Structure 1
């Protein structure tokens, strides 16, 4: 469900950016950034909070609490509006470019009149940046890449933004009198990383009432098209949402058609044609007589085509039709299969919930085991020390077994440019598991990046490579590596690759998951939670894993504890054999 917290966090992040553009003091900027992260991670929805209640949230001081309370009451923040008025909208747009911070965006505007990503691209190609201090050839290359990323993203939003919005809308429409069925389709149902628009289908005996309720929803800011069968709106997130009302008897065919993908639908229509049938969003018809054969459910549509029901996450024409015809569709991993989370953080480093709060929340999810993996010392801003880690381990041991939950004490290590990690093996041997991740030096040459990841995978104490490509969707591209060499190293060394469920990561991406699976790699499906609310992000990782054709057997944290601990101990066996 979409939360007020996310809106407020975005507003505070914008305020911090605008402070940076206008020369605000660094400490003040950091204060607003910390408050934004704390509010975004706060477990309860802050809608309706007053200033006093807001001050109970960590990192939210008196002044920020009053600003947020003002925003909650009025939908605006006077000082934010004042800052917006001082800064051209084009300069604010520049800050969306990866590798370009707010201060340098203002330098470009004041020095060269750059006021949009397009004008920045022109200035780079004209060589206009070369005389500006701090803007060298490498900077130009990074900026052009950032502009390309921004252009590719276009008006698409992350899965984690689109899904709660769609669920809120579907829930609201289901409560409208006369609505019989309602659900989302399209790329959202296929769980793609980013969503261009949301397709919602419904059946109703009162379509006009349903459409009127749709355009009156609080999320709607613009009505694009308003009709009895189809209405399109734009929401406050800038996302277009299309609602189609279909006949009850056409529900299955409509869901199949509007779920897509286009390539998958072409294949199913080809199969229909070979059987002298015609498939459309209205049903499956006899091609000669146009008599309706089936349309009520997706299952019967696929069955009449000679296929089993194909899960939406597989419908991309990447072999699912052939697998279905051969009876070889995988039994995809589901959220119910997950027995524990192997990558999470607490307030010891950059988390927003204590160890005790995280343990309580995880126990409530019915997991069998849970690993806390706060950062190692090479992520210097987190100020981790071995003494802190050992003290946390002692507390983990004290809590172990509460609510029937087995607690594992882990660590998220930092992979340096040469593939080394934070602590030596004798220290790392004291942890139950080690996740190793790239957090810096993202633009190394391909051969060096490959060696870096291979060396980390072969480390005797590293169990999991976290968010392996280090991508941030729409903001930072994947690091450049020979992935097949990395996958071979992971399969050879018994190192799992993570599917990081954070919506801005979803890393590994589905296409790399499929490649890694062919090499025999195992996977860890983790939330990378920094707050209690982040545990719910696991479902996005599940969708990505399904798009990668994974079964429960491929994912180590669906395994029972004894099998998991045997896998984690395998590295020690390999190390002892050297």
Structure 2
């Protein structure tokens, strides 16, 4: 289940969208959008706050606080329900299409009677949007692409949503008497950027109690199937969860098998077969004698080696699993991999992208972990679009044990944030003063610059020289041509003040596609100019993604794993950035914010003397 803050934040954002769809006051919609962000990112549980506590949240006034209180008292907000009733459900469905805003969705309904995604696709195919103001050929192309993105998501959820749900389920099942251990597996354990369903694995000698516990959770909307070893449910959010319960001796083999990926498992099974063994979710077994050729002396020798220290499965288990050979190993993943001649391979690498070959050659990378990261280099405060104060963000960074921490609020060319030179200089003084309170934490005063359509950034060179770090990002004009976008980002890399390119492809997973850019040219520019590429840890970005990281690494590019935090709670998103970096085979040496401060400062100078 979503945190209370996120539940209320989603409702307030929906209200803002509904106000916009119905042609309400634009200012009112913006007020609720800001409140939605503030509530979702607030560090305290809003369900525990009284009216005064709610009004203490940035952008939350008396009226909004009353709506939040109403939600926790009644389970709904009357104003939201009233607006929902005025709008066909299909129009709200249309707003889920990336690139289609609420007002345009209402225009489609009013002018063409379009009330679903399929209606829109049919209208596009029939040319029925011709002549409709604001819906020219380029818009039609964007709408088709947006529909493709929506359908590709196919009910998949991002890492943040999947992890929260998985941890809630694992936490509940782990408390059940007789549950020896429990964890999640599948694509979530491999840290894929989106998850289609959850695989949960538990150890117990009494599977029935674990199955009862799962099906009895409040989040269960439907029990799809129930058995002695596997139960599948669908949650109230629509996500399928498959629970498998195995005996203690099968834990390692089951965890390896259900973690996947399918391609990786095919490779490990092939290796086992070549050694005269069978690998399955039940364990690593010798191949039964009758499956060898009778005169296969080599096969018999393999069997003898495999039987050393092994045991025969009981007949009942043999029938159930289809195995009649002797169990060799199965208790831990490490011993399963070791027995087939491989070191343990981190789950994030198990995609059959060369990890088997690297393991055999002894060149498997020691991938970066969250614990390796010494500080966050891209964060925001309420000076711009964050929801926490500078003091709150710094205190949270200190509590995480960081060695250094950068504050990088938006620069003036992002006009809605109303940044000025005076505001930024005043914040710099506050940063220096706060630094004296935290002697173990070095505070870096930075900014997130805006890369304009021509590749220029905010502020002149002399003003930029005063920052400790500058992140530069694309925040607008996402539809430039490939050549224009490439020149734009490369030019930013060549700026001596720019240290990191933030969320380099500007994508929002399931909502906005990556910009069209020649990434190879960007990688070359980054390597040439000592400019790092960001691995943005926000689950709706994860930008760069793993495949792009792999490509950039081959060019010798360095990276920064950052949260782009706009609230204290967002600092916890770092683990998703670390997981994405692992999937891109990054080591601590590849990541600048794992480095000691002196080495980091040298990199940030980009060859300048300052």
CA distance in 2, matches of 1:543, 1:259: 15
Partner residue in 2 for 1:389: 424
Conserved? CA contact 1:276–1:288, under 8 Å: no
CA distance in 1, matches of 2:182, 2:44: 28
Alignment of 1:307 with 2:342, yes or no, is yes
CA distance in 1, matches of 2:16, 2:110: 20
Q: CA deviation at 1:27?
A: 1.5
Alignment of 1:137 with 2:173, yes or no, is no
Partner residue in 2 for 1:169: 169
Conserved? CA contact 2:496–2:606, under 8 Å: no
Q: CA deviation at 1:44?
A: 1.1
Partner residue in 2 for 1:330: 365
Which stretch shifts more, 115-124 or 175-184?
A: 115-124
CA distance in 2, matches of 1:157, 1:565: 38
Q: Deviations over 1:477-515 (max 9, x none)?
A: 111111111101100000000011111111000000010
1:382-421 matched pairs, under 5 angstroms: 382-403=417-438, 404-421=440-457
CA distance in 2, matches of 1:224, 1:93: 26
Alignment of 1:101 with 2:136, yes or no, is no
Partner residue in 2 for 1:121: 121
Partner residue in 2 for 1:88: 88
Q: Which runs of 5+ in 2 are unaligned?
A: 290-324
Which stretch shifts more, 185-194 or 242-251?
A: 242-251
Equivalent residue of 2:212, what SS? helix
Q: Give 1 or 2 for the bigger CA radius of gyration.
A: 2
Alignment of 1:202 with 2:202, yes or no, is yes
CA distance in 1, matches of 2:238, 2:10: 14
Alignment of 1:492 with 2:528, yes or no, is yes
CA distance in 2, matches of 1:38, 1:218: 27
Equivalent residue of 2:46, what SS? coil
Partner residue in 1 for 2:263: 263
Q: Deviations over 1:205-263 (max 9, x none)?
A: 22222111111212222222223321112223221111111121111111111100111
Partner residue in 1 for 2:468: 432
Q: Deviations over 1:126-150 (max 9, x none)?
A: 1111121111001001111111110
Alignment of 1:344 with 2:379, yes or no, is yes
Q: Which runs of 5+ in 1 are unaligned?
A: none
Partner residue in 1 for 2:19: 19
Conserved? CA contact 2:222–2:234, under 8 Å: yes
Alignment of 1:53 with 2:53, yes or no, is yes
Q: CA deviation at 1:178?
A: 1.1
Alignment of 1:318 with 2:353, yes or no, is yes
CA distance in 2, matches of 1:48, 1:389: 35
CA distance in 2, matches of 1:401, 1:554: 31
Q: CA deviation at 1:401?
A: 4.1
Which of 439, 442, 452 aligns to 2:478? It is 442
Q: CA deviation at 1:396?
A: 1.1
Q: Deviations over 1:48-70 (max 9, x none)?
A: 43434322222222222222212
CA distance in 2, matches of 1:474, 1:447: 25
Alignment of 1:480 with 2:553, yes or no, is no
Q: CA deviation at 1:346?
A: 0.7
CA distance in 1, matches of 2:99, 2:2: 29
1:2-81 matched pairs, under 5 angstroms: 2-81=2-81
- Relative to the length of structure 1, the TM-score reads 0.97
Q: CA deviation at 1:278?
A: 1.1
Which of 556, 579, 593 aligns to 1:520? It is 556
Partner residue in 2 for 1:362: 397
CA distance in 2, matches of 1:28, 1:571: 48
Partner residue in 2 for 1:510: 546
Q: CA deviation at 1:85?
A: 2.3
Alignment of 1:237 with 2:247, yes or no, is no
Which stretch shifts more, 382-391 or 230-239?
A: 230-239
Conserved? CA contact 1:158–1:504, under 8 Å: yes
CA distance in 1, matches of 2:56, 2:497: 40
CA RMSD of aligned residues (A): 1.3
Conserved? CA contact 1:461–1:572, under 8 Å: no
CA distance in 2, matches of 1:486, 1:409: 26
Q: CA deviation at 1:74?
A: 2.8
Q: Deviations over 1:289-328 (max 9, x none)?
A: 4211111111111111110000000000000010001011
Q: How many residue pairs get matched?
A: 574
Q: Deviations over 1:409-460 (max 9, x none)?
A: 1010000111110111111111111100000011111111111111100111
Q: CA deviation at 1:2?
A: 4.5
Partner residue in 1 for 2:321: none
